[in-house]
Structure 1
Amino acid sequence: MNGVFDVDDFVPGLFHLDLNINSRKFSSFGSLPQKNVRKISCNGQENDGRRAHRRDMLLRYNSLCADLANDDVPDPESTLVFLGALAAHLDKSDEAIRHFEDALKNNVSNLSALAGLIFVCSRNQSTQERAAACKKTVADLLGRSDVNVTEEELSYRVACCLADQAYAYAYDVGLSAYEDRMQRFLSSIEHYDRALTIGSSVITTDERRRWNLSLASIIVSQDRMMLMQGEEENNRLPRYNRAIHAFNDLTNSDCVYQEALASAYTGILLERRSSFETTPMSIHDCGLTARQSVDCYTKSIEIAEKSAVVLNRLAKIFRSAGKIELALGAADMSVALSPETPENGDAYHTRARLRMELYMRDLTKCKTGYGSIPNRELLELARDDLEKIIKAGDNDISVFIDIGQICYFMGVDAFKESFIVDEEDVNSALIYFSKALQCEMGNMIPQLQLLRGKCLKIKGEDRNALECFKKAIELEKEGSSNAQAFRLLMETLLIWFSSAGVERKDSLAGEIDGWVLAAQEKYKRESLASEIRALTHLFTHELLDLAKFLVRAKRLALTRLCLNTFASKNGQIGLNSPSADVMR
């Protein structure tokens, strides 16, 4: 931490922070400078950036609300404050006030919650007096009035507020670029550093451990990103060592949640020690020299064996680390411990997703010749789990999307998804997707539109499917890596183009060129390149004919994309590549 922290200049709360949730680009409540909203227009339809941003906030809001209800958050106070901020931006003023009031019940001097009440109440004429009262309370708590405040009281209040701000940076929405996500993580870490430094002598042991658990888990996520990005180990090592030490301290906690998660995260970090040229010194300092990651995973499950909530969280951590079988074991234990669907629906949902992922992993291996045919029973068991959740009255959009996807894979051929094997399952998938569309912001989920389009395409309803693929592309945020909707859209348009007359070809050429440009705005370059290669493999001659037609029409977007995709390392087009034929 550089420099001296000036308490007199400190602004409590979250609404002034440089967060996407506060951006005036999408929200009329934001406090950041107004920027031009960048929109993509295709066939006269605009992608509404505000609605997409609202979708991201709503998904984060619902997810954190569910976690908080299940006592599955590392820091409940910071979670309540952040939920209040999200609710305010989602125009849920009553819920925002309730979240801030709940935070104040835990800590009557919570500056972040009071600042949130000022923000929400000042925008309603009937609550102006309360906003003014909260302003006076904040001034009193910060010693900016005639009320005497001790240095210890001030340090404690500011430290707690900084921890709330750190949490908000870590859970901001709408981040896709590596640089943006890294900046949020760094801001979060910096604020936790300040909170722990300022509050070092006044915060409780439980507060210190709660903040350290949040901080160290953020470092684990940040380190994973840096590792995937190929960052030098010297840039990773200091924070890696810090996380190891933090988790080692947390293993001494009396809180099962903290102890179990610390052990699981330690296992993840131990797996990464081979990515360093020399074993990080923190591993020796904490007595982990001979410890294997599987030992830590086993210990975490043993610690949590009597807590369904902690087992559910462990299952999610293992899943994010790619330990599918281990995650499934934790989810099974949670269901066995608490089989009631309404109370422990989270375990059933997690288990269903894990079985689906196991099926897809085995299917991928089979397609590449490295495995046998996947076990269809995995899909049936996953569907059974999700049906129990729905029967219990859970109308969560993610449940409808997941069970619809499972029904789709049960209804089509596993290898090519080119024909129907059970039309009833495909129809069931469409019914579940329609229920998902009826949920709040359901028509703003790109994955839902993609899945609907796949169902309609395999039923032969190409025109309806095409509209779904277009909508999926429009709804994607910039920097997306899932360009499957673009490939499926191009497949349909290619087939139409190949059999069309001259006038129809002119119209389709313009449409294709427009969607190629739109896709380039939305997807990562490598994702588009991957889909273009797949498209070329399936429709080599059709794609060449289309590219030549577009060149003659001076519509060069698709041709440039193909040339960039098949360019060799020295920038030249190989003579045997499909793109080379376009140049002849």
Structure 2
Amino acid sequence: MAEPEATAEDLDALIDDLDYLPGHFHLEMQLNFEPRSPASLRARDLKLQRDGLQQELELAAAPQRPAVRHLLGAFAFYLDELGEARERFLEVAREDPGNLNAWANLAHVYGRLGQEEEEEACAGRLADLMGLAAEREAAGDPQLRAARCLAEQGYAHGFDVGCTSPEERAQVLAAGIALYDKALGYAQQAIEIAKDHPTILNRLAKIFHFLGKQDMAIGTCNMALDSLRDPELNWQAYCTRAKIHLRAYLHDLERAKMGLGGMPDRDHLSCAKADLEEVVKVCPSLNTYLDIGQVYYYMGVDAVQELLAVDEAALNQALVFLAKAGESELGATLPELQLLRGKCLRIKGEEANAAACFKRAVELDDAGSSHTEGFGCLLEALLAQWRQAQLSDAELGRDVDAWLRRAQGKYPAARLRQELQRVWRGHTGEVLGLARALVAQGRPALVRLLFETMEQDGDFRSGPRGRRTFSL
């Protein structure tokens, strides 16, 4: 490695005047901020992203591999696998000695390892490449190096970890697009997407999908598949197209449940199933098993009343794929997998097993999560067991009390109230029966909470002066 040509203070002063800064550890990504979720959940999300990127690395063309390796190195760094992170960045530096991000990222890792000489050497190499060294002119085209640096940083934003809302996710993606725009400025060209470049087309399709431009995303996937139809070599196009169809179905389903539209088009499910079946044969993964399991679930239930089965074979197939997803270490940590498995079991009449899945889903949910459906499904499963005499009054009271307290410590109060209202509207008689059981057990605080929720629900008739009345 070259000896550094400038002191740290000189470099800092020069970098302050730059239009961009190489490296991934300063980017405006949630990955680089103080984590807001427990360490175990953050590690789970990092490993999930890493598994997907590892698949992408195996199929990526040579020019795209450095961008993937940078992310793999960053994820390893935040998983405290510093040796792995160093090797990932060194791989890039060996294959592309002019890669700015490689030297910046290596300097960061060496700094964390306390290897000051190596850190300074990387900083010096970076200064050379950027033309910052005092008496040395950078070889090659610094403009193109800057363009590649910015494009690799923009790529990283699509794989961020830790966003807690769609708004945060949109901000991260917008920042990534801005870096791509800046990269184009340094490269001094516009991009012309050729029909024989499926890797680039697949990335464009993902961007269109994230931005909500689904027609453009479908069209771009189709272009990629026209160029390369082999699912073993172009599985990404099949996966993205399947996700678009599944999202379209779920969007229409939600509108139908709110009375804002007609029944969702089940052709979306058929198209998604066909694409994912191609992928699962040649490139099975946790995400693919989860996606195809979700597709089969919705094929197996009535669109409006999900508790009604319309295709028992589809539900069984959903459980098969969800079981395969759950076999992996990461699969066992996903609340959405437990929720979906519980919903399948509930429809099949296995209330006790379904309740166990819903309990696990609540346990796995992040603190502050707004995904309260698992808790609502748990209440419904417990009420069903009580109705079928599988639980006594005392058992039901203890379970509801314990899990409601846990939910209060995990979910935002407004979202929890909405979920309780949903359960109340669908199971009014059973909830009143639950309230009687709780009164008999001396749990008035829990009864008061249930009644306060009911009183805020505008779907029920009011008593004198607009006050809602209930009688035990």
TM-score range, shorter chain: 0.7 to 0.9
Map of 2:307 onto structure 1: 418
- For the 8 Å contact 1:82–1:168, the answer to whether it is kept is yes
Which of 178, 181, 185 is matched with 1:215 structurally?
178
1:160, 1:255 → 2: CA distance? Answer: 12
Q: Which residue number in structure 2 is paired with residue 385 of structure 1? A: 275
> Alignment partner for residue 333 of structure 2, among 444, 447, 458?
444
Which structure 2 residues correspond to residues 87-486 of structure 1 after superposition, within 5 A?
Answer: 87-90=76-79, 95-104=84-93, 105-108=95-98, 110-118=102-110, 122=113, 131=115, 134-138=118-122, 140-141=124-125, 149-150=133-134, 172-176=160-164, 214-215=177-178, 253-256=189-192, 303=193, 305-367=195-257, 371-392=261-282, 394-486=283-375
C-alpha displacement of 1:58: 1.3
State the one-letter code of the partner of 1:253: Q
Inter-partner Cα distance in structure 1 for 2:11 and 2:169? 25
Cα distance change of structure 1 residues 90 and 578 upon mapping to structure 2, 3 Å threshold:
farther
1:535-550 to 2 correspondences below 5 Å: 535-547=423-435, 549-550=437-438
Deviation at 1:486, TM superposition (A): 1.1
Letter in 2 for 1:97: R
Are 1:411 and 1:424, in contact at CA under 8 Å, matched by a contact in 2?
A: yes
Residues 382, 185 of structure 1: alpha-carbon distance in 2 compared, 3 angstrom cutoff: closer
Cα distance in 2 for residues equivalent to 1:369 and 1:25? 39
Identity %: 32
* Residue 532 (structure 1) aligned to one of 420, 429, 434: 420
- CA distance in 2 between counterparts of 1:179 and 1:377 reads 30
State the alpha-carbon separation in 1 of the partners of residues 23 and 61 from structure 2.
23
Change (3 A) 1:114 1:94: closer
Give the conservation status (yes or no) of the 8 Å contact 1:177–1:479: no
**Deviation at residue 468 of structure 1 after TM alignment:** 0.7
Within the alignment, does 1:567 sit opposite 2:442 as a pair? Answer: no
Corresponding letter in the other structure for 1:96: A
Equivalent position SS for 1:522: coil
> Residue in 2 aligned with 1:514?
402
- Structure 2 distance, partners of 1:558, 1:313, is 52
Letter in structure 2 aligned against 1:215 = A
- Whether the 8 Å contact between 2:154 and 2:179 is mirrored in structure 1 is no
CA distance in 2 between partners of 1:577 and 1:75 (Å): 68
Q: 1:92 to 1:142 in 2, by over 3 A?
A: closer
Give the counterpart letter for 1:400 in structure 2.
Y
Deviation at 1:106, TM superposition (A): 2.6
Distance in 1 (alpha carbons) for counterparts of 2:359 and 2:466: 26
Q: Hey, what's the Cα distance between the residues in 2 that align with 1:167 and 1:350?
A: 17
CA displacement at 1:180 relative to structure 2: 7.6
Q: Distance in 2 between matches of 1:178 and 1:333?
A: 28
Q: TM-score, normalised by structure 1?
A: 0.63
Classify 1:369/1:113 alpha carbon distance in 2 versus 1 (closer, same or farther; 3 Å). closer
Aligned CA RMSD, in angstroms, stands at: 4.7
- Compared with structure 1, are the counterparts of its residues 513 and 167 closer, same or farther at alpha carbon in structure 2 (3 Å cutoff)? farther
Q: Tell me the TM-score normalised to structure 2 length.
A: 0.75
What's the offset of the Cα at 1:153?
Answer: 7.2
Residue 89 of structure 1, CA deviation: 3.6
Deviation per residue, 1:313-358 (Å, 9 max, x gap)? 3332332333333322322222222101111101111112222233
**Closer/same/farther in 2, CA of residues 71 and 165 from structure 1, 3 Å limit:** closer
Number of aligned residues: 445
CA distance in 1, matches of 2:251, 2:259: 13
Unaligned 5+ runs, structure 2: 1-9
Aligned 8 A contact 1:12 1:161 in 2 = no
Is the Cα contact below 8 Å between 2:86 and 2:106 reproduced in 1? no
CA change 1:50–1:575 in 2 (3 A) is farther
- Structure 2 counterpart SS, 1:351: helix
| Cα 1:8/1:401, change in 2 over 3 Å | same
| Higher RCO (CA 8 Å, separation ≥ 6 residues) | 2
**Among residues 43, 46, 55, which one is paired with 2:44 in the alignment?**
55
- Unaligned runs of 5+ residues in structure 1 are 27-37, 39-48, 124-130, 190-212, 218-242, 257-302
